[in-house]
Amino acid sequence: MNPFSSGTRLRDMIRAIRACKTAAEERAVVRKECAAIRAAISENDQDYRHRNLAKLMFIHMLGYPTHFGQMECLKLIASAGFPEKRIGYLGLMLLLDERQEVLMLVTNSLKQDLNHSNQYIVGLALCALGNICSAEMARDLAPEVERLLHGRDPNIKKKAALCSIRIIRKVPDLAENFMGPAASLLKEKHHGVLIAGVQLCTDLCKANTDALEYLRKNCTEGLVRILKDVSNSPYAPEYDIAGITDPFLHIRVLRLMRMLGQEDADSSEYMNDILAQVATKTESNKNVGNAILYECVETIMGIEATSGLRVLAINILGRFLSNRDNNIRYVALNMLMKAITVDAQAVQRHRTTILECVKDSDASIRKRALELVFLLVNDGNVKPLAKELIDYLEVSDQEFKGDLTAKICSIVEKFSQEKLWYIDQMFKVLSLAGNYVKDDVWHALIVVISNAPDLQGYSVRSLYRALQTSYEQESLVRVAVWCIGEYGEMLVNNVGVLEVEEPMTVTESDAVDAVELALKRHSSDMTTRAMSLIALLKLSSRFTPTSERIKEIVTQHKGSVALELQQRSIEFNSIIQRHQNIKWVTDLLVVNNIARHPLKILVVESMHLLLGCWCMCRSSLVERMPVLDEAAYLGKRAGSSQPTLSAEKSSKPTTSAASLKLPNGVAKPPAAPLVDLLDLSSDDAPVLPSAPNDFLNDLLGIGLPNSSSSGAAPSTTTDLLMDLLSIGTSPAQNGPSDSNVVPSSAKAAESKPAPVTAPVMDLLDGLPSNASPPRDENLVYPTITAFESSTLKIAFSFEKQPEKPQVTLISATFTNLSSSTLTNFIFQAAVPKFVQLHLDPASSSTLPANGNGTITQSLRVTNTQHGQKPLAMRVRMAYKFNDEDKLEQGQISNFPPGL
């Protein structure tokens, strides 16, 4: 016999593990024990199997791997004796979960044990089945369980009832089989069986509408009687908890009543009396009583109760809310949130108390209260509520500030009636908790300011003032810097002073100081610094006396380690140097602070190219950045979280034709927006404005009318451009009109591809990467139908950058072939290990019927074994179809070769 196999006793092992002083010691002990157990397993040791399994369970609880013991569980379960089975089933439930294949092997033993003559063995099997069964097992063993429901022993019956719950949860189709037995369980006297039966009925109601109807018809009466009996019953020591007989049964019956009474007047009517009795008679000085009251209130809110009963329920909640016990207050807040749909007025009455709860020391209560306050806000009370919340923001805990800020911002945005109030509140939030403000919130603020000409002066002055005290709030600094750059002269000249304002004098150099400070602070991040640089550039044209100083500041960043800053600094420097009075382009550049990050590089690149062409043409320039389109911005925010990118992708098909016109354009292929822009300027933007979601394009679209209506002398500008591009064509040939400028350069580029790139590079002072010649002809892949079912069609189109052969951009287009709309649409994809997949958010989650509209979603796939292994993908679509959850999945293997 193996010397290890007898091993130590369980108790000794636990003691040894507990005696360990360090984690390393513990690991050593566990390793030794595991080795012994493995040895015993391989020797097929019978005598100590159950002890070894018990040890393994303890080791498992400590978090060590114990998979090697799984088969031992099965062996123990298969043995004849009760002690072995008992420990075997325990091990099965602890060491395995329903996703392990080993579990399938136990189905047969379970079946045998369910038919065993010993009730305790049947109990063990039911218990294991109820806790870990998988869908397959549920299907296989459902008849056995159903049979046991009709048995005589209460212990088996209650276990079988609960086991059925698990079976229905795994396989809702089986619900029908359990309807009859479940209803008959409600006639039992034994509380355990009754509780289990009521729970089974509740789950049946949730799983199946037929079952709900059936139980509503057959059980409502019996249920009311059960509740009446149990709540009127005299003292029963076996079930008594704090003077109440079986509160668990109370609560479960109330819950089932809620299911049955929901949206059904008749059965609700039947329940009113008993609910009123429970609500008035239950003692509320103990937790048990409150638990029943809580459930009772929820039931009253859930069913079609009389208005008197509802008032009673709301009053109970009011009492809960003023309770000193935190638990009771928490559930009151929780419940009021549901009550708000029933009776908003009654909940409003408790507003002050709820507001106090927002300031509670308990994080759980605070969170609940904040969510409730958020629901309570309406047009009438938004001002005092927002003020309260903002005041509290100052003193709240750090970890709560994030939630609080987000909620305040959305309240202020949603309910603001006047812009001044909105701007004021946002400034307050920014200066108190600017670090917690999300990007889209301050972007929206900028859009609003830019749309309110009469408040711009006020805004920039308030921000300047706020900046003096709260430099550490990142988003405040960003907004302030943007506004100072944009409306700097309003700050200095006190334009548009409102009555409420205190007068202040700010000199031009003060304004530059403020921006410089933002640029040089250590805590400022890249975006802030980049924005500061742009602001300085704008100020240099607005405050001519300070332009030398600004040039100095900008020059200091020429050697910055951050590429973005360095690039900006060098370019701006050259702009200041060459064209001191050019302002318009700088405004255009600001756009890329608002555009989302992924596009940034693209935008910057295309801007710089444009800059070369356009800034030359505009000697008398528009003073300020064009007004941002508020409606489009808000629509875009509502539409999706990262819309610029997806909109850009979705507009690709429409613009691709345009890009083909320039086979040898100045840009590399991914810079499609640039091509679009160049093209756009020639024929007055027929393509891009049609994509209303595209914020960037909108901005540029807005910029265009300005450019064509500006009064610059056309012939000189053309001249300038041609001069700069050092192309030999004479200006007269190119025609006098503005709109011809860019196409002429494009034509020139077409005719003389080689020489053009050099001047452009020269012009841009170091952007050589732009000039790589495109090779896109051989990278065209056919669009494939990746997936098609009766309801859904998915088409994939592909794109690839020539310098990165392993990366493929896939844009997926989903079309609904059925006749009803699909909602909650979620697309998921899985790829083999050698492929990396990045999914962008989908353009929408709703798919209109009959192919009237599509969802697009882009995927970036990196095949690390490009050329050796073909791409493969599995997809899974979850959606709601006719109010039902549907799931479809499939494998895509018809990818075009070479991906």
Residues 495-534 that bind another protein (CB under 8 A): none
* Cα–Cα distance measured from residue 298 to residue 67, given in angstroms and rounded to the nearest whole number: 44
Tokens of 143: 């008849």
Q: Say how many C-beta atoms besides its own lie within 10 A of residue 153's C-beta.
A: 15
For another protein, the binding residues in 263-292 under the rule CB under 8 A are 263, 287-288, 290-291
Query: Residue 250 Cβ, how far from another protein at the closest point, in Å?
Result: 9
Q: Among 440, 837, 849, 870, which residue interacts with another protein (rule: CB under 8 A)?
A: 837
Binding another protein by CB under 8 A: which of 19, 61, 627, 657?
A: 61
User: Which lies closer to another protein via its Cβ, residue 88 or residue 673?
Assistant: 88
What DSSP state is assigned to residue 68? G
Q: Which of 363, 311, 314 is nearest to 336 (CA)?
A: 314
DSSP state of 847: B
Of 419-427, 758-766, 795-803, 881-889, which part binds another protein (CB under 8 A)?
881-889
Residue 792 dihedral angles phi and psi, to the nearest 5°: -135, 140
Site for another protein in 446-475 (CB under 8 A): none
63 binds another protein (CB under 8 A): yes
Q: Which of residues 526, 563, 657, 830 is near another protein by CB under 8 A?
A: 830
**Structure token pair of residue 782:** 């056919």
Per rule CB under 8 A, is residue 826 in the interface with another protein? yes
Q: Which is nearer to another protein, 430 or 822 (CB)?
A: 822
Residue with smaller CB distance to another protein, 247 or 714: 247
Fill in the amino acid letter for 609.
L
* 362 is a site residue for another protein (CB under 8 A): yes
Spatial separation of the C-alpha atoms in residues 541 and 318, rounded to whole Å? 62
Q: Which of 49, 158, 428, 583 binds another protein (CB under 8 A)?
A: 158
Tell me the window of 439-447, 703-711, 725-733, 826-834 that interacts with another protein (CB under 8 A): 826-834
- Is 874 a residue that touches another protein (CB under 8 A)? yes
Cβ neighbours around 516 below 10 Å, total: 19
Give min distance, CB of 206 to another protein, in A: 5
Interatomic CA distance for residues 328 and 316, integer angstroms: 11
Q: Does 11 bind another protein (CB under 8 A)?
A: yes
Residue 685 CA to residue 678 CA, distance in Å, equals 10
Contact flag: residue 78 with another protein (CB under 8 A): no
Q: Give the closest residue to 766 by CA, choosing from 577, 574, 590.
A: 574
Q: Which stretch binds another protein (CB under 8 A): 321-329, 390-398, 515-523, 739-747?
A: 321-329
Q: How many CB atoms lie within 10 A of CB 149?
A: 25
**In angstroms, what is the minimal distance from the CB of 407 to another protein?**
15
Interaction between residue 18 and another protein (CB under 8 A): yes
Q: Is the CB of residue 535 less than 8 Å from the CB of residue 481?
A: yes
Residue 16 binding another protein, by CB under 8 A: no
* 3-state SS record for 225-266: HHHHHHHHCCCCCCCEECCEECHHHHHHHHHHHHHHHCCCHH
Among 307, 361, 505, 733, binds another protein (CB under 8 A): 361
Q: How many residues bind another protein (CB under 8 A)?
A: 103
> Smallest distance from the beta carbon of 384 to another protein, in angstroms?
27
Query: Within 112-151, which residues bind another protein (CB under 8 A)?
Result: 120, 123, 126-127, 130-131
- Does residue 239 belong to the site contacting another protein (CB under 8 A)? yes
Q: Which of 207, 215, 408, 441 binds another protein (CB under 8 A)?
A: 207
195 or 300: CB nearest another protein: 195
Report how far residue 851's alpha carbon sits from residue 828's, in angstroms, rounded to the nearest whole number.
Answer: 21
Contact 179, 145 (CB under 8 A): no
Using CB under 8 A as the binding rule, whether residue 294 contacts another protein is answered as yes
**Stretch binding another protein (CB under 8 A), from 106-114, 240-248, 493-501, 658-666:** 240-248
Q: Indicate whether 866 belongs to the interface with another protein (CB under 8 A).
A: no
Q: Which C-beta is closer to another protein: that of 313 or that of 831?
A: 831
Rule CB under 8 A: which of 640-679 touch another protein?
Answer: none
The pair of three-digit structure tokens given for residue 859, joined into one six-digit string: 């995927």
Site for another protein in 681-740 (CB under 8 A): none
User: Is 531:593 a contact under the CB 8 Å cutoff?
Assistant: yes
What is the distance between the alpha carbons of residues 316 and 300, in angstroms, rounded to a whole number? Answer: 11
Alpha carbon distance 886, 822 (integer Å): 10
Cα dihedral across residues 599, 605, 606, 610: positive or negative: positive
Tokens 């020429």 correspond to what residue? 558
| Token pair of 269 as six digits | 């009517």
Is residue 158 packed enough to be buried (19+ CB in 10 Å), middle (13-18) or exposed (0-12)?
A: buried
At closest approach, how far in Å is the CB of 481 from another protein?
A: 32
Among 92, 212, 445, 720, binds another protein (CB under 8 A): 212
Q: What is the distance between the alpha carbons of residues 699 and 88, in angstroms, rounded to a whole number? A: 69
Q: Which CB atom, from 304 or from 513, has the smaller least distance to another protein?
A: 304
By CB under 8 A, residue 19 contacts another protein = no
Among 407, 438, 872, 898, the residue binding another protein under the rule CB under 8 A is: 872
Q: CB 17 → another protein: shortest distance, Å?
A: 10
Residues 6+ apart with CB under 8 A from 46: none
Q: Which residue of 216, 329, 568, 618 would you call a contact of another protein, by CB under 8 A?
A: 329
- Quick one: angle between helices 70-78 and 107-114, nearest 10? 30
Q: In what order do the strands lie in the sheet with 784-788?
A: 784-788, 792-801, 804-816, 854-863, 835-839
Q: How far apart are CA 251 and CA 533, in angstroms?
A: 65
Nearest-approach distance from CB 256 to another protein, in angstroms: 12
616-645: which residues touch another protein (CB under 8 A)? none
Interacting positions 753-782 with another protein (CB under 8 A): none
Question: Which of 364, 451, 494, 729: binder of another protein (CB under 8 A)?
Answer: 364
For residue 735, the minimal CB distance to another protein (Å) is 51
Length of the chain: 899
Minimal distance, residue 880 CB to another protein, in Å: 9
Q: Which of 142, 257, 300, 365 lies at the binding interface for another protein (CB under 8 A)?
A: 365
Q: Where in 80-109 is the site for another protein (CB under 8 A)?
A: 81-83, 86-87, 90, 93-94, 97-101
Nearer to another protein, 100 or 451 (CB): 100
Q: Which is nearer to another protein, 261 or 488 (CB)?
A: 261
Count other Cβ atoms within 10 Å, centred on residue 635. 14
Which of 309, 829, 871, 877 lies at the binding interface for another protein (CB under 8 A)? 829
Residue 73 CA neighbour count, 13 Å, CB half: 27
Q: Does 196 sit near another protein (CB under 8 A)?
A: yes
Q: Give whichever of 127 and 771 is closer to another protein, judged by the CB atom.
A: 127
Comparison of 166 and 478: residue with beta carbon closer to another protein: 166
- Rule CB under 8 A: is residue 252 a binding residue for another protein? yes
Distance in Å, CB of 344 to another protein, minimum: 17
Q: What Å distances lie between residue 308 and 222, 341, 409, 671, CA to CA?
A: 24, 17, 38, 68
Between 224 and 251, name the residue whose CB sits nearer to another protein: 251
Among 4, 48, 58, 421, binds another protein (CB under 8 A): 58
Rule CB under 8 A: say whether 302 interacts with another protein.
yes
The H-or-E segment that residue 435 falls in is: none
CA distances from 224 to 181, 255, 270 (A): 19, 12, 8
Give 769 or 868: the residue with its C-beta nearer to another protein.
Answer: 868
Distance CA 666, CA 605 (A): 11
Please, what is the angle between helix 382-395 and helix 419-433, to 10°? Answer: 10
